[in-house]
Structure 1
Amino acid sequence: MRNYTRLIMAAILFLSVSCKSGEKLYNKGRYDDAVTAFVKKLQRRPQDAIALQLLPKAYQQSLQLHEDRVSGYLRSDDPLKWESVRREYRVLQHLYDVIHTSPAALSVVQPKDYRSAITGAQENAAQVRYERGMELLERGDKASAREAYDEFAATLKMVNNYRDARQRMEEAFELGTINVLVSRIEVRSPYYQFSADQFRDALVRNLQQRGVNRFVKFTDERFARGENIQPDEYLEMQFYDFEVGQTYVDRSQREVSREIETGSVKDTSGKVIKRYTTVKATIYITRKTVVSRGLLDYRIIDVANNQVLRTDRIPGSYTWVNQVGTFRGDERALSEEDKRQLGGVDAPPPPPQELFMLFTRPIYDQLARDLQSFYSRL
């Protein structure tokens, strides 16, 4: 019985707070929110006097507020005013839908249907965006084409399949795209002669996946002719001073020991005495290292005027390590850290081509970041 009474009291308190919240919203001039609050109240209590009294007033105030805004937008010189008009009409249509969820609310308010007004505003907004896009597209330059693409995209958001906006958007995309051809990479080294095609393949693939900029397309120069791509910019790269150092071998050994319990005995008084002994071992470590290093110079060149748009130099290095660990003596003398240093297989250094790819990894990452930063300006 007590629980039932508590539930009744909680419900009464909730309804009281709900009603008061609607009144507070109305008194603060938040008429849209007040309409929603009063309708929710009437859904629960269709005979609520305060909600029935204030709902028509709140709706009328909302209607007046948004209609006044619409009038102001229509008098303005803002070329995109129809989008603002549509936004106001959509708010009023939302109130229309909310009120229709409650028969009690409909008994005191006859909301206005704005669906036709929204459609008209969307058509006008789409027309404005389309005309702006066409004007930009007719200029014929890449920067304007990219702006035109956004205008046609906005057109289709207003009205799907508006005229030929989708076709025009694709046209603007093609015109606005910068085709960057990644040329053959030279490796200048007095000791090694090989191609950096693997580096170039990985770079082009990664740049395409990163989506550096939707209007920038990277293509390997080897495939550009087959795809009939006309370049706008060239990315030229050269590796300098690539070298593989001598194999450095470091051999070391160290002695380790530990005291371990070997058992226990009792003395004449019966006391247990533990016995310990010291175990020893010698650890042998052979560590080979080879350092490879080099520099990458890159340039971005404008094909139209042969102007260098960006140039930089990126250093890189990689240290190959091979370690083999063995021991002699009593294994019980080894700590866990000692055991981690043991094992391994004695192996020769990788060939120069493999070391080249390993040392270029940090260069590759830095170059990708540089290009992403450079082309994000568009």
Structure 2
Amino acid sequence: MNTISLPIRSTRIWGVLCLLCCLVLWSCRSGEKLYQKGKYDDAVTAFVKKLQSKPQEVTALQLLPEAYRHAQQLHEDRVNALLRSNNLHKWEAVRNEYRAMQRLYDAIHSSPAALGVVTPKDYRDAITGALENAAQTRYDEGNALMQRGDKASARKAYDEFAAALKLLPNFRDAKERKEEAFQAGIIHVVVSEIDVRSPYFQFSADQFRDYLVRTLEQRNVNRFVEFHDERFARAENLQPDQYISLRFMDFVVGQTYVDRLQREVSKEIVTGTTKDTSGKTIDIRTIVKATIFTTKKTVVSKGLLDYQITDVYNNRVLRTDRIPGSYTWLNQFGTYRGDSRALSEEDKKQIGGQDIAPPPPQELFVEFTRPIYDQLERDLRSFYSYVN
């Protein structure tokens, strides 16, 4: 049993050794190729990995210092070019260059052999300084935007303060300034009470408006847009930025149409048998008749919703449209008089049912406004989702 297992283990060990040798050889060639192509950061990383597994590898020891020197020079040149530029956010790009160099610093420190031939520069202080400058730039830009005093600038200021905090989470009073910018940038949209020109349907119209406001708030259409019911806005003395006026126009509820149809049907049927003079059996046929009475009651409700979005400060109409909606309630029933044998299978399908009352007007109002509501909600979500 041992004589069988030893060769298998030896083969496996030999395979692993071969694989490691291949990896070292590939790493060596890969580092040289990267170096020759001017990809100095990648070359440094490849040479360090090579020296971690083979500390005496000659090519890596020779080329690593050159690769690092070229990489450092390349990043330093980029930093100097950025610092001379007018790029407002150049410190963030500078930070990225320093971080790339710090990654090389960390890589070289992971290999004693690499440290023996290269003394990498520690860029931690440079990164910290670049971060502070980058955050300060964002912070100053946010303050400058806030001084403009308009909502669009406040929303941009919010993004600048947020960017400063992303760079340095506790930078100065950026959290407080961010919240101030948010509040200053909010667009308060008041949704009007709905004029339906009929007190009978006012409750249903109010429900329409209440559900619309609640849904828009729950959908969180835009973080800088808040929707308010006009009644509550008035009670809280809220000054709106935009006003959505809603009015149902040209609507009818419960317009009823009744169609009564009557038609005669007949069918020849076999009622028995008899024999003729020759003694042959023959069918006795007769004609049976019936009268079918069908009633089709249709109740139509339809109307238009006119809506308009207005900028309160300059009375400019931002959007206006009319949305149609309709609902048709149908009840059909039928009876017959006469011989049921005269009815076909299709006739029988029309028989039955009963005369029932349509839904109450308030329910019909709700039904015809459903498609209007769906379209209105889509319109408003689309319109306000692009506020920035």
The TM-score, its normalising length taken from structure 1, stands at 0.77
On the 8 A contact 1:189/1:242 being kept in 2, the answer is no
Contact 1:183 1:237 in 2 (8 A): yes
Per the alignment, do residues 204 and 10 of structure 1 end up closer, same or farther by CA in structure 2, a change over 3 Å counting? same
Task: State which drifts further: 193-202 or 59-68.
Answer: 193-202
Q: Deviations over 1:159-193 (max 9, x none)?
A: 22222222112111111111101110122469855
Does 2:82 align with 1:73? yes
Following superposition, the deviation at residue 238 of structure 1 comes to 0.9
**Alignment map for 1:121-200 (pairs within 5 Å):** 121-188=130-197, 194-200=203-209
Amino acid at match of 2:245: E
Q: Which moved more, 1:345-354 or 1:121-130?
A: 345-354
2:252 aligned residue: 243
**Partners of 1:202 and 1:100 in 2: how far apart?**
63
Q: Compute the displacement of 1:84 (Å).
A: 1.4
* 1:188–1:242 CA contact under 8 A, matched in 2: no
Moved more, 227-236 or 240-249: 240-249
Shift of 1:300: 0.9
Aligned mate of 2:305, from 296, 299, 315: 296
Cα distance in 2 for residues equivalent to 1:38 and 1:348: 88
SS of match in other structure, 2:313:
coil
- From the superposition, tell whether residues 240 and 25 of structure 1 become closer, same or farther in structure 2 (CA, over 3 Å): same
Structure 1 contact 189–243 (Cα < 8 Å) conserved: no
Going from structure 1 to structure 2, the CA distance change for 1:110 and 1:349 (only over 3 Å counts) comes to farther
Match of residue 20 from structure 1:
29
SS at match of 1:293: strand
Note closer, same or farther for the CA distance 1:250–1:206 as it changes in structure 2 (3 Å cut): farther
Gaps of 5+ in 2: 1-6, 262-293, 334-344, 346-352
Contact 2:40 2:68 in 1 (8 A): yes
- Residues 1:315 and 2:327 are matched in the alignment: no
Other-structure match for 1:55: 64
Q: 1:111 corresponds to which residue?
A: 120
- Gaps in structure 1 of 5+ consecutive residues: 252-284, 325-333, 335-343
Shift of residue 317, structure 1, vs aligned partner: 2.6
**Given the superposition, is the C-alpha separation of residues 106 and 220 from structure 1 closer, same or farther in structure 2, using an over 3 Å criterion?**
same
Q: For residues 290 and 180 of structure 1, what CA distance do their matches in structure 2 show?
A: 37
For 1:240 and 1:227, locate their aligned partners in 2 and report how far apart those are by CA, in whole Å.
Answer: 30
Write the letter of the residue equivalent to 2:24.
L
The farther-off stretch of 167-176 and 349-358 is 349-358
Aligned equivalents of 1:174, 1:16: Cα separation in 2: 62
The number of equivalent residue pairs is: 340
Question: Which structure has the highest helix share of the two?
Answer: 2
Write the letter of the residue equivalent to 1:177: I
Give the match for residue 212 of structure 1: 221
Structure 1's 234 and 50: CA in aligned 2 closer, same or farther, altered over 3 A? same
CA distances 1:36-95 after superposition (whole Å, capped 9, x unpaired): 222233333333333232222222111111100001111112222212111111111122
- C-alpha displacement of 1:150: 1.5
Summarize deviations over 1:207-232 as a string: whole Å, max 9, x none: 12222222211111122245453211
Other structure's SS at 1:110 match = coil
Identity of aligned residues (%): 65
Name the counterpart of 2:240.
Answer: 231
Q: Which amino acid aligns with 2:226?
A: K
Contact 2:329 2:358 in 1 (8 A): yes
| Match in the other structure for 1:276 | none
What is the alpha-carbon root mean square deviation over aligned residues? 3.8
Q: 1:180 to 1:6 in 2, by over 3 A?
A: same
AA matched with 1:59: Y
Deviates more, 1:189-198 or 1:163-172: 189-198
Relative distance call for 1:79 and 1:191 in structure 2 (3 A) is closer
C-alpha spacing 1:108/1:290, structure 2 compared with 1 (3 Å)? farther
Q: Say if 1:243 and 1:70 are closer, same or farther in 2 by CA, change over 3 A.
A: same
AA partner of residue 219 (structure 2): R
In structure 2, the residue matched to 1:330 is: none
